[in-house]
Amino acid sequence: MNKNATLPANIDEVLIALDEIIEAELLTNSPIALFAYVYRRTTAEIKKGVEYKLFKDNERMQAFDVVFANYYIKAYRDYQQQLPISQAWKLAFDAAKEPLCIVQQITLGMNAHINLDLGVAASTMMHGKELIDLKADFMKVNSILFSLTDELQSGLGKVSKMLFLANWLGQRNDELLINFSIAKARDFSWITANRVWSAPNSEQQQRTINEIDKAVALIGNTLRFPKGWMLKSAIRLIRRFEETDMRKVVDQLKKTH
């Protein structure tokens, strides 16, 4: 993969870049491939939505999707070259080297990209314009992410045989791990967008982004090191019986759509 390549300029190029990330990470059996696949699946759905004209402003939505995706793609490429990146993404990428279960690996990526990147991308996209004009389509992105949850959980159940234990704990913790950022993103990421967009100058804007990044990294750490001995024990057991071949995991997820 050419890490110095220019960033994608349209959705098709985003999909190609994501395919390159997935394949590069599968070659080393890295769980980084898991979020990359889930995000590729999401991007394909957004492209379909644009083609079917499901958004209020489909042309703007195409551009927004590319801006949003490039935050992830740039973070990935910069990480590979050991360049500075956000705390949230560094935590997510570093976690690939840690003994976490599949759902934790995916959710750490979702945390960084939805809770940080989505709001920042919206602010970038609407710089000098009225942010409120984007809200309806912004929320529809969250709806698309949420709509893929059942599909994702179905696929994960095939490669993570004991994942049901998290559900057995009584508070739908499996869905909490997957949905936490999606369920809360409707408010959290829109607040992020407003905070960054309304900053009076670029210096204050960057300071605001840094503050949000720190908060999102703290959320990531709660996913990385869950509290409660029952959940910790369940996650250890879940991981013990999971598929460890990342290519097989991705292939199984592909079968569920």
Burial 198-228 (b: 16+ CB within 10 A, else e): ebeeeeebeebbeebbebbbebbeebbebee
Q: Say whether pLDDT at 172 is over 70.
A: no
pLDDT, tens digit (0-9, with 9 covering 90-100), for 76-105: 999 999 999 999 999 999 999 999 999 899
In sequence order, the 6+-apart residues with CB closer than 8 A to the CB of 78 are: 84, 85
Query: 134: which DSSP letter?
Result: G
pLDDT at 133: 97
Asked if residue 68 has pLDDT above 80, the reply is yes
pLDDT above 70 for 176: no
- pLDDT digit string (tens) for 102-127? 989 998 998 999 899 999 999 999 99
Give the per-residue pLDDT at 239. 84
Centroid of chain to Cα 193: 16
The Cα 112–Cα 87 span in angstroms is 9
- What pLDDT does 38 receive? 93
d(CA 36, CA 56) in angstroms, rounded, equals: 27
Q: What pLDDT sits at residue 235?
A: 82
Spell out the alpha helix ranges (H) of the chain.
11-27, 32-51, 58-80, 87-94, 102-112, 119-125, 135-147, 149-159, 164-168, 173-197, 202-224, 229-240, 246-255
pLDDT surpasses 90 at 245: yes
* Distance separating alpha carbons of residues 137 and 231, to the nearest angstrom: 36
Sort 14 into a burial class: Cβ within 10 Å, 0-12 / 13-18 / 19+: buried
Domain definitions of the chain by residue range: 11-243
**Residue 73 pLDDT > 80:** yes
Which residue's entry shows tokens 């551009």?
63
Best CA proximity match to 86, nearest among 234, 229, 216: 216
Of 22-26, 79-83, 164-168, 175-179, the one with minimum mean pLDDT is: 175-179
